[in-house]
Every structure is written in C-alpha cells, then in structure tokens.
Chains A and B, each alone.
Chain A
C-alpha cells in the first residue's frame, strides 16, 4: 500500500539546514491502522506531507498503491490526492462559507462526479458520521467535534485508499476526541487504511501499530 524507501527531505530555514527526514523508510500494508508518533519537530508533518502527496521528497522513493509518486506532474498529484487520499487535519480545514454538505461535496466536484451521484454519496458520508441533521449548517454553527466529523465525512466521501489524519484530536476535548478515535477505529474495521499522526502516546496506543519518528528517522514498530 505505502512503501517509503530511504527518503530524505531537507529544508533551509534562514541559514540553518533542517533535515526533516533523514533516510526514512516505512511500509504500511492495506487495511492497517498505523499511528505515527513523535515530538514536535521530529519530521512528522513532513512525513505526512510526503505521504499525502502534498510535498515531494528530495531523494529516495515513495510508492502509493504500487505507483511511484516522484515523477508526477502537479495536476497528476492533485488527482491522486483527490482519488486516493482522504485528509483529516488538526484544525478541520473546512471552507467557512460552505455548508457541511457542500464541504463534503467539494472533492466529488473536483472528481467531476455527476450531481445526482454526488448528492447520494454526500448523504451516505453524512450518515456514516451521524450528521445528517446538520447538513445545511455552516462550520461556524457546528461544535469542534461535529466539524471534525464533517472533515472525516469529506475524507471518506471519495472512497480513498488511504485516510491520512494529522493530529485529528489535537483541537478537541478528551470526550469528543474519544468520539473521533472511535470513528477511526470503526472505519479501519470496515477495511479503510488509516494513518494517524500524533504526538500523543495515548492516542497512538489506540492504533494497530505505532511507528516512532525522531529527528527525521523512523523506527518501525511491530
């Protein structure tokens, strides 16, 4: 499913060269629920960006579903993000001017799914996260937990190969965080591959396998 071999990524921050990923390798099989855990500045976000095809590695190779990502054009990467990856962010990243349903619909619009089909899949996704009665609400009219559930619904609406969550419970209180975690567990049980990035050991412990990242190096767990 995901195969990262010997990937390096360096940033130049002012005069300092930051080695965000230092010969990192990672292998995730289909249907796994993997927690990537590490302190801030460890290279977690860089790893997430590369897995999510938002950024490119400087060296090494990354295969997603057996496809090498390195040589794709920007538009092809946009298509891969659109079809294969469902993002869930710490701060939800919903579009404030759109309703819950419209937010969920957006990736389907970019996929050029027909209107009737779109409406069906939005309804399914909303039902899956239990927010059917909130579909016409705008993000500001929803609680944090509800907003994150809308984000999850947006991520699963396209039936992606991979759900990629970056600190999904980071902005939520422990009770709603628990709700979201249970949602991820359920989604994984239904066969979705989930990669969850966190600094919280307790959250990581809920996943099927924990991968530790420190100073840009990955220690794969079992």
Chain B
C-alpha cells in the first residue's frame, strides 16, 4: 500500500464516522458502542501489546470510571451537562490514580502472575461494588437522565464517544512515537535487559497503566450514562464480556500495533452485532469458542499476519550503503 492509499482509507473512515449516525440513525447506539470497543482494545494494547503485560483486569478502570462519574453526578447537584463534565474528569483522574497506586504492587508481578493477579482485581472490584450500599450494592446505580426536553441524546453520546476514541488513538499514537513508547517495547521484549541498561522500568510501567486507565475511566463514565444503568457485575466490572473482549479484539487485530486494536474492535463488534442475535443465547458459548480459536490458530492477528507476509510494508528492509 502506498502512503496515498493509506491516507485515502483513513479519510474515508473518518468521513464515514462523522456521517454514520445520520445515515443509520437506528444503529446509533451500536455505533457508539463500536467506539467504546475501540477504546477498550486500544487501552488494553498499551500494556498487553506494547509492554507485554497481559492484563485480564483492565475492566477495573472502566468500572471505577462508571461508578466515579455516576457518584459525582448524583452527589454534587450540578445541572446535567456540568455534572457529566465534572463526573468524567473525576472518573479519569480517579482511574489513573488507582492505576498508579495498584501499579506499585501489581506491576512488579510478571507474566502469568500479573495476568491472574489482575483477573483477581477485576472480579474483587465487582464483588465489592455488588455489596457496597454507597454505590447501590447489587442493584447498581442509575446515572441522571439526559434532559428530556432536549433532542439528540443518541447523537450527543455518539460524538462524545467518537471524540474520546479519536483522542485516545491520537494520544497513544503520539506516545508510541516517543522514547516512552520505545521503553514500553523494550520492557516487552526483555525487561531484565531494560533494567540492566538503566531504564526506569517501574516509572514507565506505572505511567503506561495510568494512561490506559485514564481513557478507560472516561469510557466507563460515558458508557454508564449511555446505557443508563450501572450493574456491578454485568456492566461496570463485566469481566466475562467487556473484560474478555478487550483482550480478544486486540489479539484479533494484532497485538502491539497501533491500528491492530482498532481493526480488531471494528471486525469483532460488527461480527457480533450482525450474527450474534441469531445465536439465541448461545453467544457466550460462541465467544469462548472464538477465544480458543483465535488464540490457538491466529495469535498474531490480522496485522501480525500481514507483517509476516509483507515485512517490507512495515519498514523492515536491508539497506545497502551507496
């Protein structure tokens, strides 16, 4: 692919993203969810793909964001839009702080210990939220309603979520192009070597998790408002759906690449929306089958496979001096 073709493709995609909710108003909510999926996959990949720390519990920050935002909206007594804005900011900061605090302990764990440890965190959080009266315990929370007198609720959330996905993508793209991005890759490839070379790995890991949590937290706050209901186990800390999808979408598109998670999220979400309603309750069995199949037979994902076939597309070349 030439650069011009790539730009044309991206421009088409962007254009479509702007007009999609007007062209397909009946699918506005699904399209909004699509951007949430993109945020899921992108933020998971910061650790899982770029840094090699496979978190099974990133859903934690989504849930913290959902609850954090809703609590602010409930308790501050601001009008709807001010409350939402403050709530989302709070969700982002709270998630990032939790990531830094937890990261101090968790990010010292490596490999499968980190994976299972984070899995435990995600589920523990759901169980705690499910028993804690301050956040509604098992019956969850209902964020304030979008003002009824105003039209365009769907469009409002669509463009907020789209903007968040876009900003997340651009920020991560900029980060991956810095020394910080390279430090993430170095930790992924050989953390002992990175330490032996004097890199401040602990700081790098914490910041990476905090960035990931920051955007996931906002995503959680938005999703809670979009869905209109925060259930501790089935929405906020939904490890068996959102939590697994994050991992799956990133792998499907190609771990450790910039566009892989985006592609994976789009493919996964569209497939799911198109076909899964026909599975009549067997979707989750299919999800399990899909995980096994992708992990076993397609672990490099779409972009990883392309890279194996066409390494020169990705800038790998022998360059003789002239």
A binds B: no
Chain B contact residues, CB within 8 Å of chain A? none
